[in-house]
Amino acid sequence: MADKVEAVTYDQALGWLRDHQFDVLEAPGVSNRVFLKKYNVSAAIQRDEDGGIRLFAKPGYLVGSEIARLVDKGYQKFLKTTKKEIPATADHLKAIHNFSEELKEATGSISLYNEGLGTVSDRYMYDRVEDRDEPKSVRPVRPWEKKSGNKQ
């Protein structure tokens, strides 16, 4: 096992990414920032002030022309953009996972064990009852909690 991790420069990472069939697109109007695309997944990296790499946009599946966020609702993962939310399939998750692992290899980032097991979501929304964590005094009244004014 290696004791020391060598820092990868921005230019070295771009070379590795191009050599491994990533589409590298210059960000319009911004220097030293590129969008990466492979497996219909996209992310953005930029050169930091030391010549290293900084992740600008996390990897996400492309839905239309937008990078979707991965949201886990406990029973299902979803791909969410500003306009729509669709259920994530096993193929979507595998593409995001493969892209993320290759990007980590290119940039010299650490690959964590739990991330190696599968795809990690951006948000976790397990509790499907909204406002449950709010104090009772500010929670909205649920339909089943309303008192009936109609007596029979």
Residues making up the chain, counted from first to last: 152
What is the DSSP code (8-state) at residue 125?
Answer: -
- What are the pLDDT tens digits along the chain (152 aa)? 455 667 788 888 888 889 999 988 888 888 888 899 999 999 998 888 888 888 888 889 999 888 998 888 877 889 999 999 999 999 999 999 888 889 888 888 777 766 665 666 656 566 556 777 788 888 888 787 877 665 54
DSSP secondary structure, 88-101, as one string = PPHHHHHHHHHHHH
Q: Tell me the CA distances in angstroms from 50 to 10, 26, 58, 129, one per residue in order.
A: 9, 20, 21, 46
- CA dist 58 and 42 (Å) reads 8
Report CA dihedral (54, 57, 58, 63) to the nearest 10 degrees: -160
Domain ranges of the chain: 10-127
